[in-house]
């Protein structure tokens, strides 16, 4: 993959914008995502395709395809940034705007879950006994496992900020240490959440409370997984010297995403675990 420059015919100078070289990954990514969606639906409905029942192995295969596309596509982006030096100031501005718009779309995504939660909790229907939480639901104590997860995430927000300041000061070794701690905290959060789910007294399908609870906290847990992988990549890039105090947008994007995950969890903790359990 090579950087393609476009020249001003009058001045003979290359313009500062990054023109992407042809890439196969958007097309392959679309096929991989489509295959994953189809295979997941077949698995959930226990259906066959061309006489074959893919089952959970089909879902794993589809998810593996998506992961491979992500790996090779992001590898090419890293090559553009570090090897080819193709990300000019204007290109980085576009990357920043793209990341901000992506996070904004994620805000809308979680807004839908909060809307469902508050609609159901403020106006409980007769189907759930007119009370909130619904009768028969043994809620998870606010200041037990949920509070522990909150402390873990808040600490991870501190360590990722430490890493950012270390990069700004040119201390890559300190930044790598802080990133490693952040990744460990992200993994710890996911293990604690898995423990919480395993010991919860209610399942996903019991009523609107359980459905909204698992959808909102579960999708947040998925975002923690994505953010942890994002920061792990930044950790290895920091070790390899890809980041400098003046050029480290790859890390900045990961840090923005991680802080977004932190803030969403605070809203989840207050709304679902604290106010919603009262």
Predicted confidence band of residue 105 (pLDDT cuts 50, 70, 90): very high
Burial class for 156, CB neighbours closer than 10 Å (0-12, 13-18, 19+): buried
144-200 per-position pLDDT tens digit: 999 999 999 999 999 999 999 999 999 999 999 999 999 999 999 999 999 999 999
What is residue 73's DSSP assignment? H
The whole-number pLDDT of residue 275 equals 92
Q: What is 88-277's CATH number? A: 1.20.120.80
The whole-number pLDDT of residue 7 equals 46
Predicted confidence band of residue 1 (pLDDT cuts 50, 70, 90): very low
Predicted confidence band of residue 225 (pLDDT cuts 50, 70, 90): very high
In this structure, how many other beta carbons lie within 10 angstroms of the beta carbon of residue 9? 6
Among candidate residues 156, 176, 157, the one with its CA nearest the CA of residue 166: 176
Mean pLDDT of the chain: 90
Question: What are the structural domain ranges in the chain?
Answer: 1-86, 88-277
* 87: pLDDT strictly greater than 50: yes
Predicted confidence band of residue 231 (pLDDT cuts 50, 70, 90): very high
User: Which pTM was predicted?
Assistant: 0.86
The whole-number pLDDT of residue 232 equals 96
The whole-number pLDDT of residue 11 equals 54
The whole-number pLDDT of residue 10 equals 52
Q: What is 1-86's CATH number? A: 1.10.287.70
Q: Are 124 and 219 in contact (CB under 8 A)?
A: no
Predicted confidence band of residue 2 (pLDDT cuts 50, 70, 90): very low
């Amino acid at each position: 993959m090579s950087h393609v420059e476009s020249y001003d015919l009058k001045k003979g100078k290359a313009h500062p914008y990054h023109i992407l070289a042809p890439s196969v990954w958007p097309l392959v990514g679309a096929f991989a995502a489509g295959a994953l969606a189809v295979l997941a639906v077949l698995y959930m409905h226990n259906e066959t395709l061309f006489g074959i029942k893919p089952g959970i192995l089909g879902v794993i295969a589809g998810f593996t395809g998506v992961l491979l596309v992500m790996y090779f596509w992001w590898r090419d982006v890293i090559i553009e940034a570090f090897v080819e030096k193709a990300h000019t100031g204007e290109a980085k501005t576009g990357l920043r705007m793209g990341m901000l718009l992506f996070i904004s779309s994620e805000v809308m995504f979680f807004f839908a879950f909060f809307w469902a939660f508050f609609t159901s909790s403020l106006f409980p229907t007769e189907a759930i006994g007119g009370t909130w939480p619904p009768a028969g639901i043994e809620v998870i104590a606010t200041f037990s496992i949920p509070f522990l997860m909150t402390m873990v995430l808040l600490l991870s927000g501190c360590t990722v900020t430490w890493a950012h300041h270390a990069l700004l000061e040119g201390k890559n070794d300190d930044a790598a240490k802080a990133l490693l701690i952040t990744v460990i905290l992200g993994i710890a959060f996911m293990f604690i959440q898995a423990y919480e789910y395993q010991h919860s007294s209610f399942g996903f399908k019991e009523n609107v409370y359980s459905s909204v609870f698992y959808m909102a906290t579960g999708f947040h847990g998925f975002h923690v997984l994505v953010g942890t992988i994002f920061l792990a990549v930044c950790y290895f890039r920091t070790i390899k010297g890809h980041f400098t105090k003046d050029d480290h947008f790859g890390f900045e994007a990961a840090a923005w995403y991680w802080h977004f995950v932190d803030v969403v969890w605070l809203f989840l903790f207050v709304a679902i675990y604290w106010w919603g359990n009262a």
